[in-house]
């Protein structure tokens, strides 16, 4: 199984959060489970489903841990009957970080997957934190210069969160009750831009901290990482160039003018609706007053006819 990117689907996130709140809420424990999915032709591993696995570990001695193998195999057999395309692709942990026993547990999952993926899902992540709550890893063998295996360690893999169309409908239905209905599309767009800029600032600070540590000889330099950083700066925009600044300023002015004109149009339409509303109210008041006057006139005519009839009756009696 060869993959370069891990895609976690919303059903997995919901299942992990539910597992944690049922088993380890308000404790220092963590929960683990089995990940199910399939590998696409683009070397992307889709994690589409998961289930909890009974797990215990000793807080004082991290080397002591237990995973219920028979439960895992029984649950996977039942899931296989429902969806034959899904198979065991790895395991998850509620984290929030890696632990010393994770490599041992990861090697145990090689019994069910040739190259399992380990996904740390941070269930403690709040809305103020930036980024996604998933970190994916795979195990690699670091080889010494003489060709001998030194040790096995985790390698970080890019991960993302994606949903199929049916999953998007379900997630939107779940989030419908907690969505702020007062926020407009403009506020939502601005909030997304602000969060994106905060995320960019966080990543830049991480790059700065790494380069500072390399310069101070705290960590050895890695030419692959430095090459990636150089690629990032090569594709970054140079905002000091006058030829770039002027078109951005013109575009900003045009967008501001459009917003101003839109506000003016909305104000004129609101005023127009207000005037129409007042005219309609005046017409209703006039029609109501006319109906009242007509009713009073009919009542007055009926009283006069009644009086005339009474006079005729009295005159006939005499």
Helices (H), 141-184: 165-175
Phi/psi region, residue 297 (left: phi>0; alpha: psi -120 to 50; beta: rest), is alpha
- Sign of the alpha-carbon torsion through 179, 185, 187, 188: positive
**Is 60 exceeded by the pLDDT of residue 59?**
yes
Q: What is the 3-state secondary structure (H, E, C) of 39-50?
A: ECCCCEEEEEEE
**pLDDT tens digit string along 238-253?**
666 667 677 778 888 9
pTM reported for the whole predicted model: 0.59
Residue 46: beta bridge partners? 7, 38
Residue 8: beta bridge partners? 47, 161
- Sign of the alpha-carbon torsion through 176, 182, 187, 193: negative
Q: Is 194 helix (H, G, I), strand (E, B) or coil?
A: helix
**Is-cis flag, bond preceding 96, omega within 30?**
yes
117 Cβ contact list (under 8 Å, min separation 6) = 3, 6, 35, 45, 47, 89, 90, 136, 137, 138, 157
Mean pLDDT along residues 35-54: 88
Q: What percent of the chain has pLDDT over 70?
A: 87
Residue 153 token pair: 């360690």
For residue 157, give the H/E element and its range: strand 149-157
pLDDT of residue 53: 93
Rounded to an integer, what distance in angstroms lies between the CA atom of residue 74 and that of residue 307? 99
Mean pLDDT along residues 269-296: 91
Rounded to an integer, what distance in angstroms lies between the CA atom of residue 313 and that of residue 318? 9
Mean pLDDT along residues 86-103: 89
User: Using CA atoms in the order 14, 20, 23, 26, what is the torsion angle rounded to 10 degrees?
Assistant: -130
pLDDT of residue 180: 57
Query: Of 56 and 148, which is predicted with more confidence?
Result: 56
Categorize the per-residue pLDDT at 129 as very low, low, confident or very high, splitting at 50, 70 and 90. Answer: low
Residue 231 token pair: 């690629």
Rounded to an integer, what distance in angstroms lies between the CA atom of residue 296 and that of residue 307? 17
Q: Which of 42-46, 177-181, 196-200, 278-282 has the lowest mean pLDDT?
A: 177-181
**Is 80 exceeded by the pLDDT of residue 42?**
no
Rounded to an integer, what distance in angstroms lies between the CA atom of residue 49 and that of residue 36? 5
Categorize the per-residue pLDDT at 116 as very low, low, confident or very high, splitting at 50, 70 and 90. Answer: very high
Categorize the per-residue pLDDT at 16 as very low, low, confident or very high, splitting at 50, 70 and 90. Answer: very high
> Kindly report the CA angle at 71 between 69 and 75, in degrees rounded to 5?
120
Residue 134's nearest CA partner among 23, 47, 196, 30 is: 47
Long-range contact set of residues 172-178: C-beta below 8 Å, sequence gap at least 24 = 174/14
pLDDT of residue 8: 92
**pLDDT tens digit string along 143-195?**
665 556 567 888 889 898 888 777 777 766 666 655 555 555 667 777 778 87
pLDDT of residue 98: 86
Beta-carbon neighbour count of residue 138 at 10 Å? 19
Average pLDDT of the residues of the chain? 84
Residue 195 token pair: 């969060």
- Domain 5-179: what homologous superfamily? Cytidine Deaminase, domain 2 (3.40.140.10)
Rounded to an integer, what distance in angstroms lies between the CA atom of residue 193 and that of residue 201? 12
Q: Is 180 helix (H, G, I), strand (E, B) or coil?
A: coil
């Amino acid at each position: 199984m060869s993959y370069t990117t891990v895609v976690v689907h919303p059903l997995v996130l919901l299942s992990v959060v539910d597992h944690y709140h049922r088993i380890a809420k308000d404790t220092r424990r963590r929960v683990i489970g089995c990940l199910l999915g399939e590998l696409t032709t683009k070397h992307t591993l889709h994690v589409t489903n998961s289930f909890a696995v009974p797990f215990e570990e000793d807080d004082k001695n991290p080397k002591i841990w237990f995973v219920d193998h028979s439960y895992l195999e029984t649950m996977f057999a039942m899931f296989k009957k429902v969806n034959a395309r899904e198979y065991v692709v790895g395991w998850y942990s509620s984290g929030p970080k890696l632990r010393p026993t994770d490599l041992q547990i990861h090697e145990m999952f090689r019994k069910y997957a040739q190259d399992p993926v380990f996904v740390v899902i941070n269930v403690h992540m709040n809305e103020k934190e930036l980024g996604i709550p998933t970190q994916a890893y795979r195990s690699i063998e670091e080889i010494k210069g003489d060709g001998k295996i030194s040790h096995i360690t985790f390698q970080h893999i890019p991960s993302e969160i994606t949903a199929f169309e049916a999953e998007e409908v379900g997630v939107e239905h779940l989030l419908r009750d907690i969505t702020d209905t007062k926020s407009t599309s403009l506020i939502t767009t601005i909030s997304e831009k602000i969060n994106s800029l905060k995320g960019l600032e966080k990543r830049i600070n991480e790059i700065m901290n790494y380069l500072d540590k390399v310069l101070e000889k705290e960590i050895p330099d890695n030419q692959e990482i430095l090459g990636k950083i150089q690629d990032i700066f090569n594709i970054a925009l140079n905002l000091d160039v006058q030829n770039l600044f002027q078109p951005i300023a013109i575009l900003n002015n045009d967008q501001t003018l459009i917003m101003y004109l839109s506000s003016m149009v909305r104000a004129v339409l609101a005023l127009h609706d207000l005037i129409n509303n007042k005219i309609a109210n005046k017409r209703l008041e006039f029609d109501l007053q006319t109906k009242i006057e007509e009713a009073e006139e009919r009542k007055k005519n009926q009283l006069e006819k009644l009086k005339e009839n009474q006079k005729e009756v009295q005159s006939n009696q005499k």
